[in-house]
Amino acid sequence: MDLQLAGGIAAVTGAASGIGRATAHYLAGEGVAVGLLDRDLPAAESVAAEINDAGGSAVAIQVDVSDEGSVERAMAQVAYALGGLDYLVLCAGISTLFGKAVDEIDASQWDREFGVNVRGQWLPVKYALPALRASSREPAISIVASDSALFAAPLNAAYEATKAAVLMLTKALAVDLRPDGIRVNCVCPSVVDTPQSRGALGIPEGGYAGIGYPVHSPEDIARYLTLLISPVTRTINAHPLVADFGYSAQSNFPA
C-alpha cells in the first residue's frame, strides 16, 4: 500500500531511542524528511547519520519537550532546516516512578512525569502549528499514549495518570484542530521492547524472550504511528488505537 507520505516533512520527538527511533527510520523509508528531536543530541545525531547514510534525509535537533523555550526554538529550527512541516509524531516520554506507592512519590517527581509526558506533548503541537497550518499536504499528528491510559497496573499511578491525560489531549486537539484540517490520533500500546520498558521492569537487553506475555517491537508501533498520519487513514480522527494483542478484551470470568 502506498502511504502517500513520500516528499513530506515530519518532526519526531524522542527520536533518539525506542519507538521514536524506529518511527524516524520507518518514515525515512517512506520518503519523508525527518527532524529528530530529542534531549539526547549525540544519540539523535547517530540516528540521523544512519538515516542519511541509507539515502534518507534527517536532521537532529536538541530539545527538552517539557521546556517551552526549548520547544519553540527546536520547532523553528526543524521547519527552517527541512523547509516546512507536514507531520508531527510525538514519542518522547518517561516512566520513572513505576513500582512506587502513591505515598512514596514526591510532588516534584510527580510534576516531572507530567512535565515530560503531558506538557511535552502539548508544547510541540503549539509550536508546530504555524508550519502545519501552512502545509500544502494533509497535515496530521500522531502521539504515543499507552494502554496505561485505560488500564491500571499496581504501583504505576503517576505514569497512568499522565497517559490518560495524553489520550484526552489527543481528543481535545483533534476537535480544536479539525477546522485547520489537522488530524490528531494516538496509539495505546502494551509493553514494547525499548530501553524505557526494560528499565522500568528491570529486564536486561534481549531479556523479553520467553517472558510469558506478548511484547511489541518498536517497529510495530512505528508502523501504527505512521499509518495514523498517512492520508490513507484520512477519516480516522481523535482515535486511541489500542495495540495490546487483544488482552484487554478478555473478561476475568473464571472459565
Active-site residue list = 159
Rounded to whole angstroms, the Cα distance separating 109 from 97 reads 8
In this chain, which of 156, 196, 230, 237 binds ligand NAD, going by CB under 6 A?
196
The reply to whether 197 sits near ligand NAD by the rule CB under 6 A is yes
The pattern of x and - marking residues 77 through 116 that bind ligand NAD according to CB under 6 A reads --------------xxxxx--------------------x
The reply to whether 194 sits near ligand NAD by the rule CB under 6 A is yes
Q: Cα 61–14–113 angle (5° rounding)?
A: 120
The reply to whether 19 sits near ligand NAD by the rule CB under 6 A is yes
- The nearest distance, CB 196 to ligand NAD, in angstroms, is 3
Rounded to whole angstroms, the Cα distance separating 5 from 56 reads 14
Q: Which stretch binds ligand NAD (CB under 6 A): 51-59, 172-180, 192-200, 222-230?
A: 192-200
- The nearest distance, CB 192 to ligand NAD, in angstroms, is 4
- The nearest distance, CB 179 to ligand NAD, in angstroms, is 28
Residue pair 60/34 in contact by the 8 Å Cβ criterion: no
| Number of residues that make up the chain | 255
The pattern of x and - marking residues 27 through 66 that bind ligand NAD according to CB under 6 A reads -----------xxx----------------------xxxx
In this chain, which of 12, 17, 45, 129 binds ligand NAD, going by CB under 6 A?
17
- The nearest distance, CB 111 to ligand NAD, in angstroms, is 13
- Residues that bind ligand NAD in the complex, under the rule CB under 6 A: 14, 16-20, 38-40, 63-66, 91-95, 116, 120, 144, 146, 189, 191-192, 194-197
